């Protein structure tokens, strides 16, 4: 028998074994993805925020006339199995924002998964803060509900932050990096969908790229007044103590 015929038989045998494997090796590799880049759409329903401030009156009606009802801006998350960086990708210039709601192109949230730390540069009113603290512990309740986001099947989980603010996350265990938008994480997979109902805000992935970011992309230069979550809440409370519901929402948004 010719050597070329023997080689062909071996090739055909290997192909047969490949397709006989359950789910084949490609599917097995997909369940262990650890690095990539995700694009998210962040949406805020500004009309609902205003409506919750009080009864419908002339001021509320005028605000709703010129404000964009639902703003949409675009963010990106770069990650690997031990670190992630989340920041604004591009602003939608057609948006008309409520005061203080315009996205900052210098805000960046870094999650150090290896050391369970967060480093977040955030503009709040006229100040720039550098939140440096332990990653928050969220007691997630994982449900049986699923949803497909950006081509990945995601499981729904519900948790609480800031003592009473519910967050709803959809994560995929096909990508095992335990991170997500802003500083939210702690699930057995990557968060591709996030909602904070009391802030009328959602983040949903529109694209997932399975690339490996450079370490420099995950360690951006950051600056600001170094502060912990707790001290930031105390400081902001002084400025918004007479703002009622709006003040509380501004604080929740600042510490996400």
pLDDT at 96 over 70: yes
Query: Residue 214: which CATH number?
Result: 2.50.20
pLDDT in tens, 239-248: 887 777 778 8
Instruction: Kindly state whether residues 215 and 184 are assigned to the same domain.
Output: yes
Q: What percent of the chain has pLDDT over 70?
A: 86
Mean pLDDT of the chain: 87
Instruction: Kindly state whether residues 51 and 18 are assigned to the same domain.
Output: no
Q: What is the mean pLDDT of residues 191-207?
A: 97
Instruction: Kindly state whether residues 37 and 24 are assigned to the same domain.
Output: no
Confidence at 250, pLDDT banded by 50, 70, 90: confident
pLDDT at 32 over 90: no
Confidence at 121, pLDDT banded by 50, 70, 90: very high
Confidence at 26, pLDDT banded by 50, 70, 90: very low
Q: Please report the pLDDT score of residue 110 as a whole number.
A: 98
Instruction: Kindly state whether residues 43 and 168 are assigned to the same domain.
Output: yes
The sheet carrying 117-124 orders its strands as: 141-149, 152-161, 165-172, 190-196, 201-209, 36-45, 70-79, 83-90, 108-112, 117-124, 127-134, 225-227
Confidence at 222, pLDDT banded by 50, 70, 90: very high
> How many domains does the structure of the chain reveal?
2
Instruction: Kindly state whether residues 65 and 13 are assigned to the same domain.
Output: no
Expressed as residue numbers, the domain containing 20 is 1-30
How far, in Å, CA of 245 to CA of 256, rounded?
Answer: 17
How far, in Å, CA of 33 to CA of 52, rounded?
Answer: 42
Instruction: Kindly state whether residues 119 and 241 are assigned to the same domain.
Output: yes
Instruction: Kindly state whether residues 156 and 199 are assigned to the same domain.
Output: yes
Instruction: Kindly state whether residues 15 and 67 are assigned to the same domain.
Output: no
109 in Cβ contact with 83 (< 8 Å): no
168 contacts: CB under 8 Å, gap ≥ 6: 156, 157, 158, 194, 195, 196, 197
Q: What is the mean pLDDT of residues 198-222?
A: 96
Instruction: Kindly state whether residues 137 and 19 are assigned to the same domain.
Output: no
Q: Please report the pLDDT score of residue 25 as a whole number.
A: 38
Instruction: Kindly state whether residues 207 and 90 are assigned to the same domain.
Output: yes
């Amino acid at each position: 028998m010719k050597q070329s015929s023997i080689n062909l038989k071996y090739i055909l045998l290997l192909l047969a074994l490949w397709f006989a494997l359950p789910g084949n090796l490609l599917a097995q590799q997909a369940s262990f993805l650890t690095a990539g880049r995700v694009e998210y759409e962040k949406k805020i329903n500004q009309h609902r925020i205003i409506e919750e401030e009080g009864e419908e009156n002339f001021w509320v009606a005028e605000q709703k006339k010129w404000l964009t009802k639902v703003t949409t801006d675009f963010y990106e998350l770069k990650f690997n199995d031990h670190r992630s960086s989340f920041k604004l990708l591009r602003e939608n210039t057609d948006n008309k924002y409520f005061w203080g709601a315009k996205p900052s192109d210098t805000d960046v949230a870094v999650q150090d998964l290896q050391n369970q730390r967060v480093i977040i540069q955030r503009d709040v009113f006229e100040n720039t803060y550098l939140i440096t603290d332990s990653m928050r512990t969220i007691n997630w309740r994982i449900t049986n509900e699923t949803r497909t986001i950006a081509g990945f099947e995601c499981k729904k989980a519900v948790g609480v932050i800031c003592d009473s603010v519910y967050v709803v996350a959809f994560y995929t265990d096909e990508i095992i990096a335990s991170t997500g938008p802003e500083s939210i994480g702690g699930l057995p997979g990557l968060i591709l969908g996030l909602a904070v109902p009391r802030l009328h805000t959602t983040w949903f992935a529109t694209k997932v790229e399975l690339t490996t970011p450079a370490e420099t992309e995950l360690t951006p230069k950051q600056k600001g007044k170094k502060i912990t979550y707790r001290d930031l809440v105390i400081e902001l409370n002084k400025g918004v103590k007479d703002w009622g519901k709006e003040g509380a929402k501004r604080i929740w948004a600042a510490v996400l």
